[in-house]
Structure 1
Amino acid sequence: MIIPAIDLIKGQVVRLHQGKFNIKRKYLHKPFFYIKKYLKQGAKKIHLIDLDGAKDPSKKQIFLLKELSKINFISIQIGGGIRTQTDIDFVFNLIPNAQVILGSSIIKNLNNVKKWFKLYNPYSLILALDIKFDKNYKKIVFINGWQNKSNIIFEDIIEQFLNIGLKYVLCTDISKDGTLLGPNINLYTEIVKKYPEIFFQASGGVSTLKDIKNLKKSGVKDIIIGRAFLEKIFSFKEANLCWQKE
């Protein structure tokens, strides 16, 4: 499906350029304006990232979660600073049908994350692997809101989770994110072919309806779209129609 993305810093909707906190675009309206707009156009799920929490888990925007929990008809996948079982339980207690996005904790607390796949429904957990390619075209994972390089390769993480129920992986090519330069179609075609049992979500660079067609052909399960919607390059309704037709 097509999933609209909302990234937040101090309660404000923003988009970072290639994950850089010092290069960001701020948008006029509050997050709930956009959420309601997308839902009205037919969105089935919202992708929400707490960038404050991603950068520093002690600064999670808890108030936003509490506000979101009041919209009881919303299906949401949420990430940013979710590093402990307490964090996960907090989200699920507020929004029982949410999916939790796990990023930096995969690298920092691998064994704990593996335990969570036994504690929770694997369909409710999404591994977010944000990558940059090195000179040898290896997919290097970055963490902490893309600020830090991990020196761990994308495929090495996938292999660790394949036999414990991994279902959803959100893969972002950081070099494309927030740029409107088009997604990395080759990346998604490659990983879908290599791991057909995983539901991959594509994120980063979508700027045209043709990008959506190409991503659908790559075999990804979902497409996360942020800036193109916020800047009215095309509407959710147009994107969704394109996805369904393809």
Structure 2
Amino acid sequence: MIIPALDILNDKIVRLYQGNYNLLQYYNYKLSNLLKYYVSLGINIIHIVDLDGANNPKNRQKKTFLKIINKFKNYIQIGGGIRNIHDIEYFSSLGVQRIVIGSAIIDKIHEIRKWIDLYGNDFIVAALDVRIMKNNKKIIFTNGWKKNTHIELESILKKLLSFNIKHVLCTDISCDGTLLGPNLNLYQEIVDKFPCIHFQASGGISTIDDITRLKNTKVDNIIIGRSLLEKRFTIVEAMQCWQNELSHV
């Protein structure tokens, strides 16, 4: 599935370069119009990140999200500063399709099983952001990619699988927002090792060929942000490419 991504900061659509708030690009789109357009084309899930909430959960853009969730709640996968049961319950009560949990996957790993049991494994998406180190060690970073956890990706995936996790959004930080292409080796490795997990690939996608190559790794979903906003290709072209690749599987 193709999942368009929209990052929101101060009620505006933006993109960060490798998660850096100092390297910020604003885009002149109206959020509600883009959502309406994506839904009209048959997009099932739209990935939205509250960058204010990610930076400080107390600054969550509640007014903005109340408006869009009220209209598009069945299509929204939302993340950004969701770190406890109260945050999960808040978005669950609004009726979003899925919520994305990042830092809390590491900081509150002992609670994750309870959250999955309570809300279901189709509701919770685990977001794992990695840097590829020496010897191909995939180390997880949290807290806006500032904190090195020194924990390897595979060890957390094994634990999450034991918790009955279904959806995992995995991002190579070095690729995010760069348009330099995705880390195909990363996705091929984790899909091969954890075939029961539905992976969402994110970061670096700049061409239609990137979609084809990612699809060949057998990831279940591809998240695309900057390329669509900068019209490198259209959402329709992305969807057609995905469907064409599906027909060849």
Length-normalised TM-score, structure 1: 0.96
Question: For residue 149 of structure 1, what is the aligned residue in structure 2?
Answer: 148
1:202 Cα deviation after fit: 0.2
Whether contact under 8 Å (1:91, 1:98) holds in the other structure is no
For structure 1, which runs of at least 5 residues remain unmatched after alignment? none
Tell me how far apart the structure 1 counterparts of residues 176 and 63 of structure 2 sit (CA, whole Å).
Answer: 26
Q: Distance in 2 between matches of 1:223 and 1:49?
A: 16
Q: Partner of 2:201 in structure 1?
A: 202
Asked if the contact 1:56/1:144 (under 8 Å) is kept, the reply is: no
Contact 1:176 1:183 in 2 (8 A): yes
Letter in 2 for 1:151: H
Alignment match, 1:76: 76
The answer to whether the aligner puts 1:178 opposite 2:177 as a matched pair is yes
What is the 5 A alignment of 1:78-227? Answer: 78-95=78-95, 97-227=96-226
Query: What amino acid maps onto 1:244 in structure 2?
Result: Q
Query: How far apart are the structure 2 equivalents of 1:149 and 1:73?
Result: 34
Return the alpha-carbon distance in structure 1 between the equivalents of residues 159 and 21 of structure 2: 30
In the aligned structure 2, how far is the partner of 1:150 from the partner of 1:60?
25
**Aligned mates of 2:204, 2:69 — CA distance in 1:** 29
- Aligned pairs for 1:20-59 (under 5 A) are 20-59=20-59
Choose 219-228 or 74-83, whichever is displaced more. Answer: 74-83
For residues 165-191 of structure 1, give each alpha carbon's deviation from its aligned partner in whole angstroms, at most 9, with x where no partner exists: 110100001100111111011110110
Correspondence 1:16 to 2:20: no
Q: For structure 1, which segment, 192-201 or 69-78, has the greater mean C-alpha deviation from structure 2 after superposition?
A: 69-78
Amino acid aligned to 2:193: K
Distance, in Å, in 2 between the alignment partners of 1:222 and 1:38 is 16
Deviation at 1:73, TM superposition (A): 6.3
TM-score by length of 2: 0.95
Q: Secondary structure at the match of 1:49?
A: strand
Following superposition, which runs of at least 4 residues in structure 1 exceed 4 angstroms of deviation? Answer: none
Any unmatched runs of 5+ in structure 2?
none
Look up the equivalent residue of 1:98 and give its one-letter code. Q
Contact 1:43/1:236, CA 8 A, preserved across alignment: no
Tell me if structure 2 keeps the 8 A contact 1:17–1:178: yes
Distance 1:98 1:74, change over 3 A: closer
Which segment is superposed worse, 204-213 or 112-121?
112-121
**Partner Cα distance (1:135, 1:34) in 2:** 40
Deviation at 1:6, TM superposition (A): 0.2
- Tell me which residue corresponds to 2:232: 233
After TM superposition, give the deviation of residue 72 of structure 1 in Å.
4.3
Q: Report the CA distance between 1:61 and its aligned residue.
A: 1.3
Give the share of equivalent positions with the same residue, in percent: 47
